[in-house]
Amino acid sequence: MKKIRGYILSALPIRIRFALRYMVSHKRFSLLLWPTTFTEKNMLRIAKDRRNLLRTCADKVAMRSYIENKAGSEFLPKALFITNDPAAINWNELPKRFVLKASHGSGFVKIVTDFDPSDSNLIQKLLNDCRDWLEIDYGKYSREWAYIDLPRSILIEEFIDSDCIGEDDVPWDFKCFIFNGKCEIIQIDTGRFTGHRRNLYSLAWRLLDCTYAYPQSDSPLKRPENLPEIIKCAEMAGKGIDFVRVDIYSTASGPLVGELTMTPGGGGEKFSDLKLDYFLGSKWKMAPFYD
């Protein structure tokens, strides 16, 4: 039956296929013909947007070059090692703390906080993770064109000493929703490796009464002192793009861009408050990529 269903779906126009995907995920009827909400436009982008910009942002190595050319290398975490062969990693040169990730997908990340280059068991586990990641074509798994057949490599970045850090010692991601260079809301994820929580804030750091795929944190999050700098950095990174989510880390020396996300949540995450979905949709003036 799965094969039959697959054949039927593959015969449908791509917009209809993703409209069905949208309706299953969001429990709302939409053919994605005249999208008005953020989530509809996000799904339509996945279905129809074929700009190279999406692939540049999806590729964590190419994204670094994009930000370096657009804003400057000072807005990026330091890259310690980039390779497509995990066996080439010189573990003896790595610091006690670093971040290991794959360049071609989402969720391929390990945060190492107590590294010992003499620990052969840990190194073998990390090598196994790298090799497993490199075996996966994430785009075929997620059904997102931007990730399909991306170059696959391993990226090791410095661990960020952030002044905004959670109880799990993981720096906060300030995920800024940028529309044509203007930030509208900020998403903060905490406890990503323990108990995932997600808060949405206005630019004035007012907690929005809305969940987005995950429950809110049990206690309020303190407003960062350098919030204007974080927003300014995100808006600079997102300038000239109809929509992009810019993920920012806060440090004592200034904000750093972690990632650029063009299709948050693979189109499947939904807001508990439809008004916010419509509001963000109204801010997204989509580039003319679809018919």
91 φ, ψ (degrees, to nearest 5): -65, -25
Say if CB 163 and CB 238 are below 8 A apart.
Answer: no
Measured at the alpha carbon of residue 180, what is the angle toward residues 47 and 259, in degrees to the nearest 5? Answer: 70
Residues of the chain with CATH 3.30.470: 1-75+162-284
What is the rounded average pLDDT of the residues 123-141? 95
What is the rounded average pLDDT of the residues 144-155? 96
What is the rounded average pLDDT of the residues 11-23? 87
Query: What pLDDT is stored for residue 30 in this prediction?
Result: 95
Domain spanning 1-75+162-284, CATH architecture: 2-Layer Sandwich (3.30)
Reported as a single tens digit per residue, the pLDDT across 150-208 is 999 999 999 998 878 777 777 888 999 999 999 999 999 887 777 889 999 999 999 99
What is the rounded average pLDDT of the residues 242-260? 94
What is the rounded average pLDDT of the residues 10-22? 85
Q: Name the burial class of residue 209, with classes exposed (0-12), middle (13-18) and buried (19+) by CB atoms within 10 angstroms of its CB.
A: exposed
Query: What pLDDT is stored for residue 170 in this prediction?
Result: 79
Reported as a single tens digit per residue, the pLDDT across 192-247 is 777 889 999 999 999 999 999 999 998 889 899 899 999 999 999 999 999 999 99
Alpha-carbon gap, residue 110 to 94, rounded angstroms: 14
Query: What pLDDT is stored for residue 6 in this prediction?
Result: 56
Query: What pLDDT is stored for residue 1 in this prediction?
Result: 57
Query: What pLDDT is stored for residue 54 in this prediction?
Result: 96
Query: What pLDDT is stored for residue 186 in this prediction?
Result: 98
- Which one-letter amino acid corresponds to residue 154? I
Q: State yes or no: pLDDT of 8 exceeds 60.
A: no
The mean of the pLDDT values for the chain is 92
What is the rounded average pLDDT of the residues 44-65? 96
Say if CB 48 and CB 229 are below 8 A apart.
Answer: no
H or E segment to which residue 231 belongs: helix 227-238
Q: State yes or no: pLDDT of 5 exceeds 50.
A: yes
Confidence of residue 291 (pLDDT cuts 50, 70, 90): very low
What is the rounded average pLDDT of the residues 128-149? 94
Which string of b and e fits 233-267 if b means at least 16 CB within 10 Å?
Answer: bbbbbbeebbbbbbbbbbbeeebbbbbbbbbbebb
